[in-house]
Amino acid sequence: MKSFKVLLLLGAMCFLYACMLHKTNRKQLHDLANTPMPVRADDEYISLPRYDQPPGDPVKGFEYLKSGEYISSGIPAGLYKWIMRDDKRPVYQLMGYSQNMLIDFNVYTGEHGKKLAAPGCLQCHSTIINDSTIIGLGNSFGYYTTNTSLNLRVAEAAVKAIYGKNSGNYKGSRHILQAGKAVSPLIVTEAWGVNPAERIAEVIAVHRDPRTLSWNGDTSYFPTQQAVIPTDVPAWWLLKKKNAMYYNANGRGSFAKQIMAATLLTLNDTVSANRIHEKMKDVLAYLRQLQPPPYPKAVNNKLVLEGKALFNDNCARCHGTYGKAGSYPNIVVSQPTVGTDSLMAKQYFVQDGYTKWYNNSWFSSGDGPAWFQPEYGYIAPPLDGVWITAPYFHNGAVPTIEAVLNSKLRPEYWTRNFNRTDYDYEKLGWKYQVRKQSSGNRVYNTNLPGYGNYGHTFGDELSKTERDAVIEYLKTL
């Protein structure tokens, strides 16, 4: 009975803490939305310069991607396998995760000689649709609406109790659990399916010396706020065409360093950072040869030709042309011009602590420097494989391409079943249900700052027949 009361008290405390964080996050989203921009874009369209990228071995890169120790701390592999067994799925859900969330952990032997399981890049950068895993497709099933820090404390106690506090298993898991406890309260999103990736790197960098990358949990190297700006994970196969990473063109220079952001979770020092960087050159080579999956159904070839002509006349200036003679312009469209939700672009000017930290850190020095240089706007992305990359916009606010091209169809509140067989191959996107109001984290509320579905109304000028033709053409990219 006493144990039950303790559990009940802990549950109530966790609930109250989650409510407090949720309220603070919403307030800071509104505060950021109401903060004047200190810098305005002078140009409607900004051309992005190209930077040389390091060569690498794509075969080695793929192996390192799926089994490397770039997240150099993890839970004991035996415990991970027990949690992930099909008959233990309820245990996994009790830890705060969704049964539909794609989980891909790398298993390797850690520095203490024990097998560890650590979250890998494919957790966010691959997706299962209709029982097929598509590597490089952003995972739109992410479940970040729960603060799991209490669960991580329980996990830490369990590892210590099962293996002993002086064991290699506990020493191997200590850093990832430490980072997880620091990150989890600060990456809670308002809706299921969006991703807080950039926020993860930022809240870890707060506690790392920029030059040595050493961890100091009691030090904040720059101020940060509670607001979590949602992100839709872009497809990896687009990287080979782009001159800058991230939606606001923030990531410049060496992409091999830019893709290391998540390693901040467990980096020990610059020695380990240099070792991982060398292997990330191979990973980058693998990413740059990825191709999108072909549209799996028949298309109307006559409509495709009509759609191609309309696309080239109306969309190619920003999104490029396709085929053997295709070209991609690499431009940022200013936020006032494209009109989409401004918070992702705005935050790097209003809250520039992470940018300054990054540009004075190990990342910006030495072999293959990388740096942040945000623009007040968004990259008009390449559209290779766009048919399978729903939901759309930088924040995942629009469920289908049909609604991208016709703003009147965009739902104010919408939800989906998060069923991997629910893809709409005609409207190009996830099948969804319209709701009359926001109710729970399964409903996407486009009225929240950062979650807006407005802007990019260029397709409204087309007739329905013309939009249908453009959609048919987009299926072939």
Tokens of 306: 């009509």
The more confident residue out of 440 and 92 is 440
**Can you tell me the mean pLDDT for 116-139?**
87
Q: What's the CA gap between 61 and 276, in Å, rounded?
A: 11
Across the chain, mean pLDDT equals 87
Q: What pLDDT shows up at residue 103?
A: 52
**Can you tell me the mean pLDDT for 231-239?**
96
How many residues make up the chain in this entry? 477
**Can you tell me the mean pLDDT for 427-431?**
94
Ramachandran quadrant class, 166 (left: phi over 0; alpha: psi -120 to 50; beta: rest): alpha
Q: What pLDDT shows up at residue 13?
A: 46
Q: What's the CA gap between 140 and 185, in Å, rounded?
A: 21
Q: What pLDDT shows up at residue 84?
A: 65
**Can you tell me the mean pLDDT for 1-13?**
45
Q: What pLDDT shows up at residue 99?
A: 43
Domain definitions of the chain by residue range: 2-71+120-146+188-474
- pLDDT, one tens digit per residue, over 142-180 is 888 888 888 888 888 888 888 988 898 888 898 988 888
**Can you tell me the mean pLDDT for 380-392?**
97
**For residue 391, is the peptide bond before it cis, meaning its omega torsion is within 30 degrees of 0?**
yes
Residue 25 has pLDDT above 50, yes or no: yes
Beta strands per DSSP E along 355-402: 370-372, 377-379
**Can you tell me the mean pLDDT for 78-98?**
56
- CA torsion angle for 329, 318, 374, 212 (degrees, to 10)? -50
Q: What pLDDT shows up at residue 299?
A: 96
Instruction: Calculate what percentage of the chain has a pLDDT beyond 70.
Output: 90
Residue with tokens 């079943």: 417
Residue with tokens 């390797």: 108
- Which residues are 434's β-sheet partners? 414
DSSP H helix total and E strand total for the chain: 16, 15
- pLDDT, one tens digit per residue, over 322-379 is 998 899 999 999 999 999 999 999 998 888 999 999 999 999 999 899 999 999 999 9
- pLDDT, one tens digit per residue, over 281-316 is 999 999 999 999 999 999 999 999 999 999 999 999
Q: What pLDDT shows up at residue 211?
A: 95
Residue with tokens 């430490």: 178
Q: What pLDDT shows up at residue 320?
A: 97
**Can you tell me the mean pLDDT for 137-141?**
92
- Which residues are 46's β-sheet partners? 332
**Helix (H), strand (E), coil (C) string for 45-76:** EEECCCCCCCCCCHHHHHHHHHHCCCCCCCEE
**How many other CB atoms sit within 10 Å of the CB of residue 145?**
19
pTM > 0.85: yes or no: yes
- pLDDT, one tens digit per residue, over 46-58 is 999 999 999 999 9
Q: pLDDT band at 108, cuts 50/70/90?
A: confident
Residue 9 has pLDDT above 80, yes or no: no
Q: What pLDDT shows up at residue 24?
A: 63
Residue with tokens 């072909």: 294
